[in-house]
Amino acid sequence: MTDRYAVVGNPIAHSKSPRIHAAFARQTAQDLSYEAILAPLDGFAASMAGFIAAGGCGMNVTLPFKLEAFALAECHTARAEAARAANTLKFEPGQILGDNTDGAGLVADLVRNLDCPIAGQRVLLLGAGGAARGVVLPLLGESPASLTVANRTPSGALALRDTFAAQANVAACSFAGLAGQQFDLVINATSASLAGQAPAIPPGLYAPGSTAYDMMYGRGMTAFLASAQSQGASRLADGLGMLVEQAAESFLLWRGVRPDTRLVLADLAAELHGT
């Protein structure tokens, strides 16, 4: 019988996950189906239960259900624990495993696809919500020279720093508090791009040769990337690669096989960016 997987979110119509996982399945000759499920805003638990009852083997979870998915999972990977959010569920006999592959996806995109090493680099992470929290541990795992978290509301950055105080020395400050510092890699994990805005960071933060990475992606350049370009960032990347890489990590968890992401990413990039 064909194994069933799905992505659940609200909205979900424009999700690229079904297409990505179908390509991975073809490439690795895995017999599986992957569908998109729109769950009502108050109906994630029921949608998940229905999918399990119908024989579902695993699920990706997207906005706004990642916290709920984490809460419903009966055991968690260390990276899901650190993020306190799950984007991947694996339905094992008798238990639901919650994982979070977003951070690993970001790191894989930076290191493998973009040839942008994190080791030894001065890294700035903008934002302190769920998206930022999910990538802190995987970034630290790459041994950056420093990791600074800055947030519009400074208390959010301080709270995030304190969460990871046992793991490493993370610096935290307000946007204004960044003035005078320089970074090799600036990652936008705020949701500002959704509103077409760029985080109001001071000028002069981009070191020569630096990279600006927006975890969001879209057809054109995001406001953050446009502003990074005008402030001297040498390289710009949006989150399309992260999307494909987090999917590959989920696929690996479910199927025990790591798909080759290059062709799938090239295909999506051609469609979105014309590259």
Binding residues: 15-17, 62, 87, 102, 127-131, 215, 217, 239, 246
Q: Which residues define the annotated binding site for shikimate?
A: 15-17, 62, 87, 102, 217, 246
CB of 218 to ligand ATR, least distance (A): 15
- Taking CB under 6 A as the criterion, the residue among 197, 229, 231, 234 binding ligand ATR is 197
Torsion-angle region of 109 (φ positive above 0: left; ψ -120 to 50: alpha; else: beta): alpha
What φ, ψ does residue 35 adopt, rounded to 5°?
-120, 165
Locate tokens 């990475």: which residue? Answer: 213
CB of 43 to ligand ATR, least distance (A): 20
- Interaction mask 172-191, ligand ATR, x per CB under 6 A: ------------------xx
- Taking CB under 6 A as the criterion, the residue among 9, 156, 241, 259 binding ligand ATR is 156
Q: Is 162 in the site for ligand ATR (CB under 6 A)?
A: no
Site size with ligand ATR, rule: CB under 6 A: 16
Q: Can you read off the two tokens belonging to residue 274?
A: 């014309």
Q: Catalytic residue, from 21, 66, 76, 90: name it.
A: 66
Looking only at the bridges linking them, the beta strands covering 32-38 and 56-61 are unpaired
**Environment class of 187 (CB within 10 Å of its CB; exposed 0-12, middle 13-18, buried 19+):** buried
Select 20 or 131, whichever has its Cβ closest to ligand ATR: 131
Q: Is 87 in the site for ligand ATR (CB under 6 A)?
A: no
In a 3-state reduction of DSSP, which class is residue 15? coil
CB of 70 to ligand ATR, least distance (A): 12
Select 43 or 64, whichever has its Cβ closest to ligand ATR: 64
d(CA 40, CA 62): 13
CB of 235 to ligand ATR, least distance (A): 22
Q: Find the residue with minimal CB distance to ligand ATR.
A: 129
d(CA 151, CA 128): 6
Residue 136 · residue 164 · CB < 8 Å: yes
Quick one: DSSP state of residue 141?
A: T
Q: Is 10 in the site for ligand ATR (CB under 6 A)?
A: no
| Angle between helical axes of 262-273 and 17-28 (0-180°, round to 10) | 150
Spatial CB neighbours of 9, under 8 Å, sequence gap ≥ 6: 15, 36, 38, 39, 61, 62, 63, 64, 65
Select 98 or 130, whichever has its Cβ closest to ligand ATR: 130
Q: Which of residues 114-133 bind ligand ATR (CB under 6 A)?
A: 127-132
Q: Is 105 in the site for ligand ATR (CB under 6 A)?
A: no
Strands of 235-237's sheet, edge to edge?
170-174, 146-151, 122-126, 183-188, 206-214, 235-237
- Taking CB under 6 A as the criterion, the residue among 9, 199, 239, 241 binding ligand ATR is 199
66 classed as catalytic = yes
Considering only 18-26, 110-118, 145-153, 256-264, which stretch makes contact with ligand ATR by CB under 6 A? 145-153
Q: Which residues are catalytic?
A: 66
Interacting residues with ligand ATR (CB under 6 A): 127-132, 151-153, 156, 190-192, 195, 197, 199
